[in-house]
Amino acid sequence: MSEPYAIVIGLEVHVQLLTASKLFCGCSTKFGAPPNTQTCPICTGMPGTLPVMNRRAFELALQAAVALDCQIAPFTKWDRKQYYYPDLPKGYQISQYDLPFSHGGHLTISDAKGRFEAKQVGIIRVHLEEDAGKSVHDEQAGEADSRIDLNRAGTPLLEIVSQPDMRSPAEAKAYLDELKLLLVYLGVSDCNMQEGSLRVDANVNLHIAGAGGEKIATPIVEVKNMNSFRAVERALAYEADRQFEVWRETGRKLGDVPKQTRGWDDAADITRGQRHKEESSDYRYFPDPDLVPVTVSAKQVEEVRAALGELPAALRRRLETTYGITPYDSDVLVNQGQELVTYYVELAEASGDGKMAANWVQQDVLRTLNEQGASIGAFPIRPPQLAELLQKVRAGEVDTTRGREVFAAMLASGRSAAEAMRALGIEQVDESQLVELCRQLVAANPKLVADVKAGKLQAAGAFIGQAKKLNANVNPNRVREICLELIAKG
């Protein structure tokens, strides 16, 4: 590490669970509805209403925690976290305090590009809670006006708190990528940051080596308002620099000042100190008497575990060992989601070449999907058709460059590989014809021949270009081989 310090990062992630209805009432959780149209007496906290636990939310929460290798508490309860804010209609948030339903898990992160060693990031706890509403501050004509949208109030959130185990912004980013991937694979959340279904707060400080080799910890800062994983990376890098500067100027250590909260300003590329909260942070937690505790048996946990299916880490390993692809390739494929992996696996099986399948999926299929903004489910070339093309490329019936033309034609016309090749006039050139053509080229290019003989093997490339002009269907590799043979024979 070039910096004279270690960055210590812990992340607190909130994800919205993919339930049809809210945590304690039947209102829809769909994003984007007009303000306050997805509300009822319960989630607006009307006097006399009572919460009733959404079973599905708890099931999803359980799946996530089990997938994170957390211990599942046999007994868990719901607590009220009390504070005043206009988007919190009951004056308290139903959350979990001292007995969260799970704790003590971990998530393994690695970097396909090898920027850091694979490591386990500890998970302190995962708990379930309800979201608050949204305050919309409208400042027009100098008169500040705030409006409250309670559509989001009562939406089920999973809070996932990591250990301060990450040591670089890249590790933090990798943790978020891997966590998001896991939750999306599980179907627990769509983790859409734009719609607020994934939110990240970071706790960060530095461990600086002192003059006598002792470890000096700087005050922990909580960073908020980061609205993309890239922003998290940038905010953490900024914050590390800033804390180091502050330490050099002030020498302030952990414990010297109260914990500070800073907001990331994406446009300015800096963090800014936030105003202290009005009230102190005594939330006066106590068990919510309106809800009954939940008990979870070991058998239930095992059932959840058995039903989890293959998780991203295991899937990557399987792709690498079964199809011989690199960790980088498996990472790209798995990151694209379950559907693309299924497509890839079918293609690898049908074409009989996992590596080639990986290349084509990453380069051609993904590029097309990106260009068209389409999903793999609707991609018109299905794995058996693409496999046919791959086999032809592998058999030398068509070279890779022309293969791409075939791919484009298949895409445009919906034809099979064979039909597309025929339409493009691609046919295999007879070997004797090819030899004859090469003989002419060798005879007509004494300078190139001399170059090759002098050891400039790359000069043979020029034969390919000339051959292609004479017959577009020639196999460039064969042309090269034959020409070299002819020259060698002299």
Alpha helices for 251-382 (secondary structure H): 298-307, 312-323, 327-335, 338-351, 354-360, 366-372
Q: 36 or 71, CB closer to other proteins?
A: 36
Q: 156 or 354, CB closer to other proteins?
A: 156
Q: Which residues make Cβ contacts (< 8 Å) with residue 362, sequence separation at least 6?
A: 329, 332, 333
Bridge partners (DSSP) of residue 107 are: 121
Reduced DSSP (H G I as helix, E B as strand, rest coil) percent helix, strand, coil of the chain, to 5: 40, 20, 35
Q: 41 or 114, CB closer to other proteins?
A: 41
Site for other proteins, residues 88 to 147, rule: CB under 8 A = 89-92
Q: How, if at all, do strands 221-226 and 198-209 pair?
A: antiparallel
Residue 110 tokens read as 């690695």
Are 15 and 157 in contact, with CB atoms under 8 Å apart? yes
Q: 51 or 100, CB closer to other proteins?
A: 51
Q: How far is the CB of 292 from other proteins (least distance, A)?
A: 5
Site for other proteins, residues 45 to 84, rule: CB under 8 A = 45-53, 80, 82, 84
Q: How far is the CB of 289 from other proteins (least distance, A)?
A: 4
Are 89 and 150 in contact, with CB atoms under 8 Å apart? yes
Q: Is 367 helix (H, G, I), strand (E, B) or coil?
A: helix
The Cα 45–Cα 343 span in angstroms is: 47
Residues in contact with other proteins, shown as a per-residue x/- string from 148 to 177 under the rule CB under 8 A: x-----------------------------
How many CB atoms within 10 Å of residue 456?
11
Site for other proteins, residues 328 to 357, rule: CB under 8 A = none
| Host H or E run for residue 407 | helix 400-413
Site for other proteins, residues 399 to 438, rule: CB under 8 A = none
- Collect contacts of 358-365 with beta carbons under 8 A, ≥24 apart: 358/323, 358/325, 358/329, 358/333, 360/386, 360/390, 360/407, 361/333, 362/329, 362/332, 362/333, 364/404, 364/407
Q: How far is the CB of 258 from other proteins (least distance, A)?
A: 15
Q: 116 or 283, CB closer to other proteins?
A: 283
Q: Which of 143, 214, 249, 282 binds other proteins (CB under 8 A)?
A: 282
How many CB atoms within 10 Å of residue 347?
26
Q: What phi and psi, each to the nearest 5 degrees, are found at residue 171?
A: -65, -40
Q: 285 or 328, CB closer to other proteins?
A: 285
Q: How far is the CB of 24 from other proteins (least distance, A)?
A: 9
- Collect contacts of 279-282 with beta carbons under 8 A, ≥24 apart: 279/83, 279/84
Q: How far is the CB of 90 from other proteins (least distance, A)?
A: 5
Q: 44 or 155, CB closer to other proteins?
A: 44
Q: How far is the CB of 28 from other proteins (least distance, A)?
A: 18
Residues in contact with other proteins, shown as a per-residue x/- string from 287 to 306 under the rule CB under 8 A: --xxxx--------------
Q: Determine the size of the site formed for other proteins (CB under 8 A).
A: 29
Q: Of the candidates 83, 445, 444, which has an alpha carbon nearest to the alpha carbon of residue 281?
A: 83
Site for other proteins, residues 6 to 25, rule: CB under 8 A = none
The Cα 221–Cα 7 span in angstroms is: 12
Q: 86 or 114, CB closer to other proteins?
A: 86
Q: Which of 3, 20, 30, 41 binds other proteins (CB under 8 A)?
A: 41
Q: Which of 20, 37, 75, 86 binds other proteins (CB under 8 A)?
A: 86
Q: 130 or 364, CB closer to other proteins?
A: 130
Q: What phi and psi, each to the nearest 5 degrees, are found at residue 473?
A: -90, 0
Q: Which of 278, 299, 446, 469 binds other proteins (CB under 8 A)?
A: 278
Q: How far is the CB of 279 from other proteins (least distance, A)?
A: 8
Q: 214 or 282, CB closer to other proteins?
A: 282
Q: Which residues bind other proteins (CB under 8 A)?
A: 41, 44-53, 80, 82, 84, 86, 89-92, 148, 278, 282, 284-286, 289-292
